[in-house]
Chains A and B, each alone.
Chain A
Amino acid sequence: MFAAFIESVKYVGHLIPLAFLRVFLGYYYLQQALVKFHGDFLNRPRLAAQIAEVLPTVDASYWYKSLVEKLLIQHWQGLAFFILGIEFAIAISYLLGYVVRPVAILGALLAFNMMILTGPQYEDLYRVFFAMHLAMAWVGAGRCLGFDYYFFKRRRGIWW
């Protein structure tokens, strides 16, 4: 498996710049997740308050707003745990290059929702993240300098 990790440079070396971006993103998400873990993200409803503030101005369909209001804001601790879990998953996956494709799709979904729900000041940031996660999923960025190459070689399929 480790041999495949290094071998990937030989066969998919053209993806190295993307692997660099993947590792950078993984590191960024790890930092963000650790700040949230050591801070009060799970103990205080900051995100829920921010979403509640922005929600009336969001141009989205009724069912979406209703879902956010009745499910996510009310169960803010579950939401915070879920987001933190996804951030750790993105961080580990991107750093190791393991299950990058499905995790990137998850990351794109998270970035898309955050883009809508966190207000205009973060909209651009999450738009860029959304595009980057999509690119990671599209290319299969775990194949270069990542463990996905090992599974890609042996199993093929759309998930590697």
Chain B
Amino acid sequence: MRHFLVFMFLVFAGLFGALFLKNSRDPNKDSRPILKIYASSSFIKQWGPGPWLKEKFESTCDCKVEYNDAADSVLLMQKLKSENRGGGADLVLGFDQYDLEMAQKGIEWKPIKIESLNFYEPVRATLSRTHFIPYDWGVLAFLVRQSEVKELPKSFDDLLMPEFAGQISLQDPRTSSPGLQFLLWLISVKGEEEAFQFLKKFNAQVKSYGANWSMSYGLFQKNQVKSTLSWVTSPVFHLLEEKNSDIVAVEFKEGHPIQFEYVGIPATCKNCDLAEKFVKLLLSKEGQKVIMEKNFMFPVIQGVRDGTVFESIPNYKLMDMNVIPTIAERERILKKWTQLRRAE
């Protein structure tokens, strides 16, 4: 036991010493400007597009790119607001269309100038916002394994079939963007009253409302549910990484909602020119291809999908969901959803 205690003491003392040395060397290590980017974990992680974009950008900018992991958009917003005076971030990635109103409250953003690029039709409608530019987009849909279902569902009502009882995983709309999109999608298809009537029956089909997409998708990957809400590009991941063509995104006759991911430059940025250059890289053909292949989302620029497996994804019927409910309206809907869940 004495050996063990001495061993543990030496390891921790060694670690402490190594950290002390590391920190004492840091300040003089690099005098290049640092481009601070706040982004989601999936963007930054080894398998995301972040590392490639960082390497590519650093090879030309004589600067350093530093990513800051933002767990979710709410935390990100709080962080940005608290740092507004100090100017923490030079660039922020990962807001969707529902976050923009919140993002503009209490935080000032710089307008972003972009060259005339060949954007996809659904993306063009979002370009009227000069402070936020979309860098990828996706279409939400329910995924199923073809071999597990008798017939592919073609509408929300088909999800009420007995074979889906307790077999659907969804995201909690209070904490997850796709979860919120599902609720708004349902309301725009059925109207609010009918949507909540539908949810009373539908909730019996849902095995769990995960706090985020990864959790609900994890249940689907582990074969614990037959269906989950994700993006129409998700089957491509399984096709490329697992050679599994059994997973498909089903098309609903009602149409599908779109999610855009935006980039913005806070007005308090310190390296604003570098931030604008990074946006150019994001929107370049090379950058868009990497985002598409690593994030498994659609590129915003036309021509990038050509000759790739993403080209084979059919065009789903899209819904016009350009009317974004206000924060107050969303809170009212979420409160109603919470009450419905509590009453079960």
Residues of chain A whose beta carbon lies under 8 Å from any beta carbon of chain B: 37, 42, 44, 46, 49-50, 52-54, 56-57, 81, 84-85, 88-89, 92-93, 98-99, 102-103, 119-121, 151, 159
Interface residue B99 (Cβ < 8 Å from any Cβ of A): no
Q: List 13 other contacts, CB 8 Å, given A92-B11, A93-B7, A119-B215.
A: A37-B18, A49-B71, A53-B72, A53-B212, A54-B211, A56-B211, A57-B208, A57-B215, A85-B12, A85-B15, A88-B15, A98-B7, A159-B3
B17 to chain A, nearest CB (A): 12
Name the residue of chain A whose CB is nearest to the CB of B3: A99
With A53-B71, A119-B218, A121-B218 as known contacts, state yes or no: A88 contacts B1, CB within 8 Å. Answer: no
Residues of A within 8 A of B71 (CB): 46, 49-50, 52-53
- B residues 202-240 touching A (CB-CB < 8 Å): 208, 210-212, 214-215, 218-219, 222
Chain B interface residue number, banded:
20 to 34
**Can you list, as one digit per residue, whether each of B7-36 has a CB less than 8 Å from chain A (1) or not (0)?**
110011011001100100000000000000
Find chain A residues with CB under 8 A from B12 CB.
85, 89
CA distance A81 to B41 in the complex (A): 21
Inter-subunit contact B11/A88 (CB<8 Å): yes
Contact assessment for B3 and A151 in the assembled complex, using a CB-CB cutoff below 8 Å: yes
Does B211 lie within 8 Å of A89, measured CB to CB?
A: no
User: Least Cβ distance of B336 to chain A in Å?
Assistant: 21
How many interface contacts (CB-CB < 8 Å) are there between A and B? Answer: 65
What's the dominant secondary structure at chain A's contact region?
helix
Residue of chain A at shortest CB distance from B70: A49
A93 to B192, CA, bound (A): 61
User: How far does the Cβ of A147 sit from chain B's closest Cβ, in whole Å?
Assistant: 10
Whole-angstrom CA separation of A133 from B230 in the bound complex: 36
Known contacts A49-B71, A57-B215: A89-B19 contact under CB 8 Å: no
A102-B211 contact given A37-B18, A53-B71, A89-B11, CB 8 Å threshold: no
Chain B residues within 8 Å of A, Cβ to Cβ:
1, 3-4, 7-8, 11-12, 14-15, 18-19, 22, 41, 68-69, 71-72, 75, 208, 210-212, 214-215, 218-219, 222
B218 cross-chain contacts in A, Cβ below 8 A: 119-121
Top-7 shortest CB links A-B: A49-B71, A120-B218, A102-B4, A89-B11, A99-B4, A85-B12, A121-B218
Q: Are A84 and B211 in contact (CB under 8 A)?
A: no
Instruction: Report chain B residues within 8 Å CB of A103.
Output: 4, 7
What is the chain B residue whose CB lies nearest that of A82?
A: B12
- The smallest beta-carbon distance between A4 and chain B, in angstroms, is 15
Instruction: Determine the chain A residues whose CB is within 8 A of the CB of B72 once the complex forms.
Output: 53
CB proximity of B221 to chain A, nearest CB, Å: 8
Inter-chain CA distance A99–B10, complex, in Å, is: 13
Minimum CB–CB distance for B72 against chain A, Å = 8
